[in-house]
Amino acid sequence: MLSKSIEAALNKQIRIEAESSQAYLAMAIWAEVKGLEGISNFMYSQSDEEREHMLKLVKFINERGGHAHVSALKAPSVTFSSYKAMFEKLLEHEIFVSESINELVHISLQEKDYATHNFLQWYVSEQIEEEAMARTILDKVKMIGDDKGGLYLFDRDIQQLTVSS
């Protein structure tokens, strides 16, 4: 059985994962409108993954006798000054999510809720992967600079980058 405070903290994380999904959907749409098809497809699948992360939390809360909540979401940014700015925002967001997961892990230990602690380890690993991926992408973007040919190849190749969900 989940304690009320753990249930509330997990529900907060549901909102954060849902907001991540919306933020990445907005990025996918922006990239699509700009004709960056590969980047757009990549962001659509990142958005889907964030929804999976949200659903995993929903199931966990309900299975442990809690009640998962769907709440109002903060509107994401829908335009970006450049695709580099968009990926900077992606890394910034992943760092924010990692901090939120770390805080959850901390609460679960404080309350000696080892089942929740164990469940959260999947999110800890996922965040390591996603932050690393966002950094790799940004390194490539910086290398490309204003080279149009480089952007063309990057847009084609980014579709091969995936993060396991």
Residues flagged as binding site: 17, 50, 53, 94, 127
Residue 87 makes contact with ligand OFO by CB under 6 A: no
Residue 126 makes contact with ligand OFO by CB under 6 A: yes
Q: How far is the CB of 110 from ligand OFO (least distance, A)?
A: 23
Q: How far is CA 30 from CA 13, 34, 35, 39, 119, in A?
A: 25, 6, 9, 10, 34
Are 135 and 91 spatial neighbours (Cβ–Cβ below 8 Å)? yes
Q: How far is CA 124 from CA 8, 20, 46, 120, in A?
A: 19, 16, 17, 6
Answer for which of 97, 120, 137, 158 binds ligand OFO (CB under 6 A) is 97
Of the listed pieces 61-69, 73-81, 126-134, 139-147, which binds ligand OFO according to CB under 6 A?
126-134
Q: How far is the CB of 2 from ligand OFO (least distance, A)?
A: 20
Distance separating alpha carbons of residues 11 and 17, to the nearest angstrom: 10
Residue 64's φ and ψ, nearest 5 degrees, are -100, 25
Q: How far is the CB of 157 from ligand OFO (least distance, A)?
A: 21
**Residues 10-29 interacting with ligand OFO (rule: CB under 6 A):** 17, 20
Q: How far is the CB of 105 from ligand OFO (least distance, A)?
A: 14
* Binding residue numbers for Fe cation: 17, 50, 53, 94, 127
Which parts of this chain interact with ligand OFO (CB under 6 A)? Answer: 17, 20, 50, 53, 94, 97, 126-127, 130
